[in-house]
Amino acid sequence: MRETTYSFAKNLFNQNQIKEINELVQKNFISGSDFLATGAKKSSNVKFLYLGSIQRLILPFLDYCFTVNNSKFGFDLFQLSSRTIINYNLYSVGTEYSWHVDAESKSPIRDIKLTCLLNLSEEKFEGGDLYLFKGEEVKCSEFREPGSAIVFPSFTNHRVDKLISGSRSTLAVWMTGPKFR
């Protein structure tokens, strides 16, 4: 078995682009329910939108996600559609998401293969760091920078620690594919 790893990209988007993405996101929320990972504690605010409503603005991010899969993981992935639902995660002071994995437990035909996160924060924040568990806890400090992206296998245990100050906004896209065998 290969070592669990992740891939990081810095400066996919500048501050003006982040602001433009956030403005479009705010106009396109849909109703939906958040499914908490089994046994996890989550206090962030999660909003939902269809990928198609912002797809043109985040193409560099989506391209990066597929490129990472092709070069590092090689998972068999389903195509994303304009109706793919994505999450917009808002962390305010005191919120967090404890250790969890991203999984599709009820589907007989698919699994979540990759977790793809884009940092869309417009202000500085303290705390709210992303940690992955790779035999030990690994702090992903490079993901703190707005406009950065991180991609990792969804079965990797991960968490976001408590936000101490400011606000943190991220976009989450899950790449799915046929059930793992």
Q: Give per-residue pLDDT as tens, 28-77.
A: 999 987 777 777 889 999 999 999 999 999 999 999 999 999 999 999 99
Does residue 94 surpass a pLDDT of 60? yes
Residues with Cβ within 8 Å of 8's Cβ and at least 6 positions away in sequence, in order, are 140, 142, 143, 148, 149, 150
Q: How many CB atoms lie within 10 A of CB 73?
A: 17
Residue whose C-alpha is closest to residue 80's, from 100, 119, 51, 101: 51
Q: Give per-residue pLDDT as tens, 11-26.
A: 999 999 999 999 999 9
What is the spatial distance between Cα 70 and Cα 64, in angstroms, rounded to a whole number? 10
Give the pTM. Answer: 0.95
Cα 175 to chain center, whole Å?
Answer: 10
CATH number, domain 7-178, options 3.20.20.70, 2.60.120.620, 2.60.40.10, 3.40.225.10: 2.60.120.620
